[in-house]
Structure 1
C-alpha cells in the first residue's frame, strides 16, 4: 500500500511514519483490527495437569 497522508478510515492527517505506511491511524487501527491471534502451543497446559480426576490423590481428609 502506498503511503497516505490521511487516514483511510476517518480522514485525519497522519504524522507517524508507520501509520502513513499502513494508511490508517493508531486509533482507527485499534478499532478495526481483527481478533487476536490464537495462543501458541507452548502456552497449553502440560499433560500432568490434564489427567483424570480419579488419578488425583485425595489425602487423609477425604
Structure 2
C-alpha cells in the first residue's frame, strides 16, 4: 500500500491497509509516523526516495 500525501491527518485508508496486513510505504506527514508499525516512511516531496523504495520492494517480491 502506497500513500503519497503531502498533507494528512489520520488516514483511515492507511489504518485499514495496515489492519489487513499490507506492507506500507507512506510519507512522513501528519499523524502517519505515529500509526505506522511495520512500514517505510519517506519525507514528503522525496520523489527519488519513493522511486528507490518502490523499486527495491518490487524487486524483492519478484526475485
TM-score with structure 2 setting the length: 0.23
Q: 1 or 2, which has the higher strand percentage?
A: 2
